[in-house]
A and B are shown apart, each in its own frame.
Chain A
Amino acid sequence: MEKFILKYFNLIRTIIAILIGFVISISLILLVSKDSFAALGYLFLGPFGSISRMGNIIELATPIIFCGIAIAIPFQASQFNVGAEGTFFISAAFGTAFALIIQSLNLPRFIYVVVVLAFAGLMGALWGFIPGFLKAKYRANMVVLTLMLNYIAYFISIYLINYHFRDKSAGFLTSYRLPDSVFLKQIIPNTRIHIGFLIAIAAVFIAYYFLYHTTLGYEIRMVGFNFHFAKYSGIDVFKVIVLSSMIGGIFAGIGGMSEVMGIHRRFLWQSLPGYGWDGVVVAIIGRNNPILIMFAAFFLAYLRIGGQVLNLLSDVPYELVSVIEAIIILLITAEAFLENIKYRITVKEAEKEVFKNESPS
């Protein structure tokens, strides 16, 4: 039993954190809601209430998965950053502009989609190059760099769309509508789940393979583990930092564009949508492992949708849902949480092992 606990300690800790989070949420709801029993049902079971709500989970998880990977790849090289938000946004804006510009070429459907997504990925890589290069060359702080670049990306994008690609016939600030031939088709009826979701799942496995099975992935991880060691071994740390930032950017860029091509079909954001921040959260929960990040993204999306259902159907305000979400994430990411118990079990096990064959001296 003790051995089992030690082996799966991280998983068990995550589950306990989620349970405690749920208990706190339940108590909060009991406090504020007049019909708390129904409210609990909305929050926890609501997301599974219908096909369309389950669809909402997946739909919301899709951009979070992309951003989680985009954050995790530089994280693996120990480059803590928050750049996915801006990269996601600017790649979507430039991708939209690009799709509108090449519209007149009348490319065949498949090629059009691939070319536009590739362009957005390239845009993401270019945008990722900036902080990567500045960090590698001038040892600028990655968090500050990416935070500032998020603002720059935001305003450049808004300028581009509102001044050059604005659809004046629409009743609100938005770009022109993309042509039908560049849409990412919906794959399950009655939901907005689109091909972009399949791309996200593919991205998870590609990122996993990249990190753990390629030489560049190996270099990224070694730089992350110990950068002195990487340098001493002959790994080009400069290259690795720049490339990790660029490759992360590719995932954010494709994620941003697939959101435009699959859901909105126009660039209609006037503020940052926040998926990049969610990406940071799921990258931390998933410990930078793309497969765990995918599960973390589903979990986060489930919490969000539960919150929306709760907000819609009960008297519990959405703000409270955010509190609950934050508590759960906080517990999961607190590394020292339950560490004492682990220590105690370790001590017991180690003593058992050592004194097993000895009579007390």
Chain B
Amino acid sequence: MATAISLKDIVKVYPNGVVANKKVSLDIEEKTIHAIVGENGAGKSTLMKIIFGIEEPQEGEIYVKGKKVNFKTPLDAIKQGIGMVHQHLMLAEDLTVVENLTLGIEPRKYKIFLDKKRANDLVKGYVEKYKIDVPLDKKVKELPIGVKQRVEILKALLRDVDILILDEPTAVLTPQETEVLFKSLKELKSQGKTIIFISHKLKEVKEIADKVTVMRDGKVIATDDAANLTEHDIARLMVGREVSFERLEEGKNIGNVVLKVENLNYINREKVQVLKNINFEVRAGEIVGIAGVEGNGQTELVEILTGLKEASNGTVYVFGKNIVNKSVREIREMGVAHIPEDRMKNGVADKAKIKENLISDRYYKKGFSKKGILNYPYIDSTSNELVKKFNILAPTIDAPVNALSGGNIQKVVVARELSSNPKVIIASQPVRGIDVGSEELVHNFIKDARDSGCAVLLVSADLDEILKLSTRILVIYNGEIVKTFNKVEGLKGEDLGPYMLGVKRGE
């Protein structure tokens, strides 16, 4: 079979000295679905950016269909028939689907006027040819994320690409939406397209890919037919050691109610009711998972529980005391820890030292300072202890946080939050974008906290994570808790999907 793309000894060094690709060589065969898997920081996204002309490598050669290329911008790549669907979709939210799809290649009347009819026909032709269904006249912002993604794929197809790169396309999808996506991808393959598919969900890789390439630490570890590898094999190759995907054993000592939310409502500035009558409670020693597609009110819920936002009405009790509209510090002093969903925005000051990040919630407390003067010997020794205990790979505690990898940055956040002796932990996407090894560590730390009697609220868009950790599961849709699962054992992602999409409602 002919090769679509061939990479030879690609080396990419970023300005901060990180070597993302260390002499990577790789052949992608035509008319296959080729999965590239690896932990975060393994270099797969960088490699894709190089193929698509976003980044330029320092060394190495790229061949597209046997011809040597040298891409300076994505436009060069598109001209050679390469398209990319980014993880964060790049669409003009206020334009309709047709307008988005034809942006830059609009059919015109008399060279200056838009020819809407021809644009419509053009798009319709592609929709029918590739059997990818999208509502043509709706504005993009009105569409669910799965449909937006289909628009992105169509956008690439309309530019007549025959090699399509998808960067973690399923990360934001429900199981049902993923199924639809996979059907489209298989259809594309049968029509002769080559698809490069980045993921770290092994089940999906097995399901869809013909070939699998495993990357670790900037290098290609193995490339093989998907049929020859089990999920277990791939995981071992990715991490370099055995990993377990088992569900955590249930907590044994479930105690009293610690966190109780009653009739909580939140109406935002645009007068949209983001949270509707939320009621739930979390007991000591249990993990309550909140499952839902992102953007259904989870962010606001967490921000209200941690004091970053004011609720419109309702109450939140921690040990029977109402915390609504109290300051962040007051809430933290009551024993509430918060692992934020966006660690770079809220979790760390990336240019500050690691030790300065580790004390941000306690610098004013006894030991860390006295009469307003920081006690550095004590800060240093406790920071060193935390780095050791939480296995943070860092040169020194005086290094800035931005010198660390994503997984280690998250460990800094987790180390700070879990070492504050919390009674309640609000963990929002605690393992997003970190590698499998760090993920396991963070999950174990959360489990240990649970076993020591913490009440944990876990908010995640990753169903596997929710199913792995939770004692009970609540599904949130459109600002409402639409379903409660009191027994998690034996539950599958497919059972939650319809509730997450608002197709079904619980009692």
Instruction: State in angstroms the CA–CA spacing of A218 and B357 once bound together.
Output: 11
Chain B residues near A349: list those with CB within 8 A.
Answer: 17
A346 within 8 A of B: yes
Contact A218 B349 (CB under 8 A): no
Q: Please give me the residue from chain B that is nearest to A222 by CB atom.
A: B349
On whether the beta carbons of B11 and A351 are closer than 8 Å, the reply is: yes
A355 touches B22 (CB 8 A): yes
B18 within 8 A of A: yes
**Is B350 an interface residue, CB under 8 A from the partner?**
yes
Q: Note all chain A residues with C-beta closer than 8 A to B23.
A: 355, 361
- Comparing B234-242, B251-259, B285-293, B339-347, the segment that makes contact with chain A is B339-347
A213 at the A/B interface (Cβ < 8 Å)? yes
Assess whether A347 is interfacial by the CB under 8 Å rule. yes
**Residues in chain B near residue A215, CB distance under 8 A:** 363-364, 369, 372-374
Closest Cβ of chain B to A171, distance in Å, is 51
Check A214/B373 contact, CB under 8 A, given A222-B349, A229-B347.
yes
Residue of B nearest to A227 (CB): B349
CB nearest to A209 among chain B residues: B373
Q: Mark A196-216, 1 if CB is under 8 A from B, else 0.
A: 000000000000000001111
The listed residue with most A CB atoms (<10 A of its CB), out of B58, B327, B349, B364, is B349
Contact A231-B308, Cβ < 8 Å, known A354-B22, A361-B9: yes
A225 vs B347: C-alpha distance when bound (angstroms): 12
- Label chain A's interface by main secondary structure: helix
Q: Please state if A229 and B363 are interface contacts (CB–CB under 8 Å).
A: no
The yes or no answer to B68 lying at the interface (CB within 8 A) is: no
Q: Cβ of B29 < 8 Å from any Cβ of A?
A: no
Residues of the B chain whose Cβ atoms lie less than 8 Å from the Cβ of A221: 352, 356
Question: Is A35 close to B, CB under 8 A?
Answer: no
Give the one of A235, A339, A353 with max B CB within 10 A. A235
B202 interface contact, C-beta 8 A = no
**A226: chain B residues within 8 A (beta carbon):** 345, 348-352
- How many angstroms from the CA of A235 to the CA of B338 in the assembled complex? 14
Nearest opposing residue in chain A for B20, CB measure:
A350
Chain B, residues 162-204, CB within 8 Å of chain A (1/0): the string is 0000000000000000000000000000000000000000000
Tell me the count of chain A residues lying within 8 A, CB to CB, of chain B. Answer: 30
Is B13 in contact with chain A by the CB < 8 A criterion? Answer: yes
Task: Check if A327 is an interface residue, CB within 8 A of chain B.
Answer: no
Say if the beta carbon of A110 comes within 8 Å of chain B. Answer: no
- Give the residue name and chain of the A residue nearest to B12 (CB): A347
Contact A229 B349 (CB under 8 A): yes
Q: Using Cβ atoms and an 8 Å threshold, which residues of chain B touch A230? A: 349, 360
Interface check B136, CB cutoff 8 A? no
Q: Does B320 contact A (CB under 8 A)?
A: no
Closest to A339 in B: B15
Q: Smallest CB-CB separation from A360: which chain B residue?
A: B23
Name which of A225, A231, A234, A339 has the most chain B CB atoms within 10 A of its CB: A234
List of A residues within 8 angstroms of B350 by Cβ: 225-226
Given A222-B356, A346-B17, verify A216-B328 contact (CB < 8 Å): no
A221-B376 Cα distance, complex, nearest whole Å:
16
In this assembly, does B19 line the interface, its C-beta being within 8 Å of a C-beta of chain A? yes
- B277 shortest CB reach to chain A, Å: 27
Cβ of B329 within 8 Å of any chain A Cβ, yes or no, is yes
Q: Which B residues touch A355, using CB under 8 A? A: 22-23
A137 within 8 A of B: no
Check: B361 CB closer than 8 A to any chain A CB: yes
CB distance from B490 to the nearest CB of A (A): 37
A residues in contact with B361, CB < 8 Å: 233-234
Q: Write the nearest CB–CB distance from A209 to chain B, whole angstroms.
A: 9
In the assembled complex, how far is the CB of residue B422 from the closest CB belonging to chain A, in whole angstroms? Answer: 13
Smallest Cβ-Cβ distance to A348: which chain B residue: B13
Q: Which residues of B contact A232 (CB under 8 A)?
A: 306, 308, 328, 338, 340, 346-347
Assembly CA distance A346 to B340 (angstroms): 33
Selected from B16, B306, B329, B363, the residue in CB contact (under 8 A) with A218 is B363
What residues of chain A lie closer than 8 Å to B340, measured between beta carbons?
Answer: 232
B364 to chain A, nearest CB (A): 5
Residue B44 is within 8 A (CB to CB) of chain A in the complex: no
Residues of the A chain whose Cβ atoms lie less than 8 Å from the Cβ of B19: 350-351, 353-354
Q: Does A315 contact B (CB under 8 A)?
A: no
**A230 to B331 Cα, complex, angstroms:** 15
B373 contact set on A, CB distance < 8 A? 213-215
Assuming the contacts A221-B352, A228-B346, A232-B338, asked whether A351 and B13 have C-beta atoms less than 8 A apart, the reply is: yes
Q: Does B447 make an interface contact (CB < 8 A)?
A: no
Nearest CB of B to A287, in Å: 12
* Cβ–Cβ < 8 Å partners of A216 in chain B: 372
Is A343 an interface residue when CB atoms closer than 8 A count as contact? Answer: yes
The yes or no answer to B332 lying at the interface (CB within 8 A) is: yes
Q: Give B residues with C-beta under 8 Å from A.
A: 9, 11, 13, 15-19, 22-23, 25, 58, 218, 306, 308, 327-329, 331-332, 338, 340, 345-352, 356, 360-361, 363-364, 369, 372-374, 376
Binding site for B on A (CB under 8 A): 213-216, 218, 221-222, 225-226, 228-236, 339, 342-343, 346-347, 349-351, 353-355, 361
13 contacts between A and B (CB under 8 A): A213-B374, A215-B373, A225-B352, A226-B351, A229-B346, A229-B348, A230-B349, A230-B360, A232-B306, A234-B327, A346-B15, A350-B17, A361-B25
